[in-house]
Amino acid sequence: MELTPNSFAMSVDAGGILEPWTSKIERRLSDMAGMYADPDAERDAIAAGDAVVYEVYQHDMPNHAGELVVCTTLLYPGKVGDEFFMTKGHYHEIRERAEVYYGLSGEGQLVLAKDDGAAEAIPMRPGTVAYVAPCWAHRTVNTGSEPFVFLAVYHGDAGHDYGTIETEGFPLLVLERDGEVAVVSRQEAQ
């Protein structure tokens, strides 16, 4: 496999877009159907316009442990019922691969979970550098009223495993309760 031959610079523009990017992901509510805790609110939100929830601008790299993929995510503000807009969330296919998140604008929570049931949430704001340790699934949530933008860096061979999260979800939900941000266990929310 050919490794990236030369060093180079990337930049993040004022709108949070990584330049130069080589691939882009756009996810609407319908692309993550079944992931929000309130199925009726989710169905209504999809019927009411199926909003774009987030966009990822990524500079792809060779699938090799020695490479680092860089991307920015623009996670839009919004809620499904009382649950804030969020990414799908994933484990890495190679579980032992860590990741770094760097908050650029807006505010949110980084929700983390391990397959032994451990879970936690790290608040993120501009300047926050969050270390996602190996073997932890990760999801971001926009708890503010403007786009939550962050940069992520992860190993070229890490891969994305969505299946476990699609079937089991995260043990923690991030909700608006009495006008405040509340991180609650899934059981407590039901």
**Residues found near ligand M6P in the complex (CB under 6 A):** 56, 71, 73, 87-90, 99, 152, 154, 160
User: Smaller CB distance to Zn ion: residue 164 or 182?
Assistant: 164
Q: By C-beta, is 166 or 180 nearer to ligand M6P?
A: 166
Chosen from Zn ion, ligand M6P, none, partner binding at 71 (C-beta under 5 to 8 Å by type): ligand M6P
- Min separation Cβ 33 and ligand M6P, Å: 14
Which CB atom, from 79 or from 92, has the smaller least distance to ligand M6P? 92
CA distance 138 to 120: 10
The least distance separating ligand M6P from the CB of residue 61, rounded to whole angstroms, comes to 12
**Tokens, residue 121:** 């949430």
Measured from the CB atom, the residue of 71 and 113 that comes closer to ligand M6P is 71
Which CB atom, from 19 or from 40, has the smaller least distance to ligand M6P? 19
Residue 99 lies near Zn ion (rule: CB under 5 A): yes
Quote the Cα angle for 22-26-31, to 5°. Answer: 140
End-to-end Cα separation, the chain, in angstroms: 49
Scan residues 36-65 and list those touching Zn ion (CB under 5 A).
Answer: none
Nearest CA to 56 out of 99, 80, 27 is that of 27
* Chain centroid, CA 126 distance in Å: 16
CA distance 141 to 73: 11
177 binds, among ligand M6P, Zn ion, none (CB under 5 to 8 A by kind): none
157 binds Zn ion per the rule CB under 5 A: no
- Produce one character per residue of 78-91: b if its CB has 16 or more CB atoms within 10 Å, e if not: bbbeebbbbbbbbb
What CA–CA distance (Å, rounded) separates 68 from 158?
9
Smallest gap from Cβ 142 to Zn ion, in A, equals 17
- Whether residue 142 contacts residue 148, with contact meaning beta carbons closer than 8 Å, is answered with yes
